[in-house]
Amino acid sequence: MKKIVKNGIIVTASDTFEADILIEGEQISTIGKGFLPSEGTEIIDADGCYVFPGGVDPHTHLDMPFGGTVTKDDFVSGTTAAAFGGTTTIVDFCLTEKGKPLKNAINTWHNKSEGKAAIDYSFHLMIGEINEDVLAELPSMIEAEGITSFKVFMAYKNVFQADDATLFQTLIKAKELGALVMVHAENGDVIDYLTKEALANGQTDPIYHALTRPVEAEGEATGRACQLTSLAGSQLYVVHVSCEEAVKQIESARRAGADIWGETCPQYLALDQDELRKPDFEGAKYVWSPPLREKKHQDVLWNALRTGALQTIGSDQCSFDFIGQKDLGKDDFTKIPNGGPMIEDRMSILYSEGVAEGRISLNQFVDLTSTRAAKLFGLYPKKGSISIGADADLVIFDPFAERVISSETHQMKVDYNAFEGKQIKGVVRTVLSKGKVIIQDNVYKGTEGDGVFIKRAKYGEELRNTALERV
């Protein structure tokens, strides 16, 4: 079945132009003007709208056990919500357990996701330790499983935290195998000391989550990860950068020629630390790690996105209900499950606060929310691109319409939205995933299991649809 997306303004990471898109099956077959539709061709009118490549969210935690509970949104609700927001591919974090084969973890994540997702997905693999067994298994993660990014936590002491030797060896191995190493960069030991001290002083409210995770702890860990990357001659991606201290480290490492990339998230761009001071334990809704920062850091992050010091926007989707999950930490902020819902509004916040407010250009918006992540994580040009042979993952976006964010209307299962009541400029009209309309005017038209697991290319390599490879 053929489809033509007509009359829209196509926006890619580099260009903005008026053209129509011919879709044959799951892929874009031609981009141009004046197509004569053959009988049965479906016309999708994008008049007055932008046409973006579907969003690529490089940072999600769906159906993930954490903090004594499990994230509220799973691969059904999480990927459906992502689609409503214009995201058509996610890369989720697969947690591993020390002493157990990596393959077990991969199987667990396949069982959580197979047949459930609304959009295509892949996994990053957490590395918690390096030993003979892990080293022996890593090549098959790349070659057989198509998992070409490894994640090391420098925080969450006694839970996920790995030591510097583990990070360094992961960097060396990743360089050899063609993988990108990701870090959660906060100094977990310092945070552990500060949290124990706060609790001993009776400081149990949500705001102490932020006050015990200072910017210096993020800046130090980011700098350390950058130095270890340079020493290993490897490549690094710093997730959820929240503050000036971390941006400076990434910027200076990049200026020195290091292969280092940085991501920030909508929450750090548009919310600040005062949210954690809300009464009646409401502050718990805003507990992320790294924490929300003082407002002045928002300008630094926007500048970093505009100037290229940071290159991607992840949602860090990790949702927990306010009632029944966040309240595990009612008397002790260290027991509040860390994270929040963001998969659905990631692109909306970036468009409304970024493009509509004149902070970033339209093309930068596409690069930040889609194309760059696709390139870094071995999905491009199958994903993140409007080009011949790419998957027909498209978002038809009305820049003049407005909407209000609310947990009453959002698609995520979680019982609150961190942006409750926020007026947003720009509305997703239609979303196509692999040529199929899955969202039309806020109605889900897809089917559970439309989304499949994507084996990704190695770091620095491209992923093309096989039909094009044959040409």
Task: List, in order, residues 6 or more apart from 389 with CB less than 8 Å away.
Answer: 27, 28, 381, 464, 465, 467, 468
Q: Least CB distance from residue 237 to ligand URP, whole Å?
A: 13
Tokens 């509040």 — which residue?
336
Q: Kindly identify the residues of this chain, within the stretch 217-246, that bind ligand URP according to CB under 6 A.
A: 240
- Pick one of 222, 234, 249, 289: the residue that binds ligand URP (CB under 6 A): 289
Q: According to the binding rule CB under 6 A, does residue 187 interact with ligand URP?
A: no
Nearest to Zn ion of 90, 394 (CB atom): 90
Token reading at 158: 């006694």
Nearest to ligand URP of 338, 433 (CB atom): 338
Q: According to the binding rule CB under 6 A, does residue 288 interact with ligand URP?
A: yes
Q: Kindly identify the residues of this chain, within the stretch 47-66, that bind ligand URP according to CB under 6 A.
A: 61
Nearest to ligand URP of 95, 390 (CB atom): 95
Nearest to ligand URP of 218, 244 (CB atom): 218
Q: Kindly identify the residues of this chain, within the stretch 165-224, that bind Zn ion according to CB under 5 A.
A: 184
> What character string, x for contact with ligand URP (CB under 6 A) and - otherwise, covers 248-287?
----------------------------------------
**Nearest of 325, 347, 323, 350 to residue 336 by alpha carbon:** 325
Nearest to ligand URP of 173, 184 (CB atom): 184
Q: How many residues bind ligand URP (CB under 6 A)?
A: 9
Nearest to ligand URP of 145, 263 (CB atom): 263
Task: List, in order, residues 6 or more apart from 111 with CB less than 8 Å away.
Answer: none
User: Which backbone phi and psi does 452 adopt, to 5 degrees?
Assistant: -125, 160
Nearest to ligand URP of 183, 247 (CB atom): 183
Q: Least CB distance from residue 362 to ligand URP, whole Å?
A: 28
**Nearest of 462, 455, 464, 459 to residue 122 by alpha carbon:** 455
Written as one letter, the residue type at 408 is: E
> What character string, x for contact with ligand URP (CB under 6 A) and - otherwise, covers 155-184?
-----------------------------x
Token reading at 201: 């002083």
Q: According to the binding rule CB under 5 A, does residue 20 interact with Zn ion?
A: no
Nearest to Zn ion of 275, 316 (CB atom): 316
User: Which backbone phi and psi does 388 adopt, to 5 degrees?
Assistant: -65, 130
Q: Taking the mean position of all CA atoms in its chain, how far away is CA 120?
A: 14
Nearest to Zn ion of 184, 436 (CB atom): 184
- Pick one of 195, 338, 352, 430: the residue that binds ligand URP (CB under 6 A): 338
What does 166 bind: Zn ion, ligand URP, none (CB cut-off 5 to 8 Å by kind)?
none
Task: List, in order, residues 6 or more apart from 414 with CB less than 8 Å away.
Answer: 72, 73, 319, 320, 321, 341, 407
Q: How many residues bind Zn ion (CB under 5 A)?
A: 2
What does 288 bind: Zn ion, ligand URP, none (CB cut-off 5 to 8 Å by kind)?
ligand URP
Residue 290, preceding peptide bond in cis (omega within 30° of 0): yes
Determine how many CB atoms are found less than 10 A away from the CB of residue 70: 15
Half-sphere exposure of 120 (CA within 13 A, CB side): 23
What does 124 bind: ligand URP, Zn ion, none (CB cut-off 5 to 8 Å by kind)?
none
Q: According to the binding rule CB under 6 A, does residue 316 interact with ligand URP?
A: yes
Q: According to the binding rule CB under 6 A, does residue 325 interact with ligand URP?
A: no
CB 147 within 8 Å of CB 122? yes
- Position with the least CB separation from Zn ion: 184
What does 370 bind: ligand URP, Zn ion, none (CB cut-off 5 to 8 Å by kind)?
none
Q: Kindly identify the residues of this chain, within the stretch 308-337, that bind Zn ion according to CB under 5 A.
A: 316
Determine the Cα–Cα distance for residues 113 and 75; give it in Å rounded to an integer: 5
Task: List, in order, residues 6 or more apart from 225 with CB less than 8 Å away.
Answer: 154, 167, 183, 185, 236, 238
Rounded to a whole number of angstroms, the distance between the first and last alpha carbons of the chain is 22
Burial class (CB in 10 A: 0-12, 13-18, 19+), 138: buried
Nearest to ligand URP of 27, 289 (CB atom): 289
Determine the Cα–Cα distance for residues 117 and 115; give it in Å rounded to an integer: 6
CB 91 within 8 Å of CB 119? no
Instruction: State the residues that interact with Zn ion by CB under 5 A.
Output: 184, 316
Instruction: State the residues that interact with ligand URP by CB under 6 A.
Output: 61, 184, 240, 288-289, 316, 318, 338-339
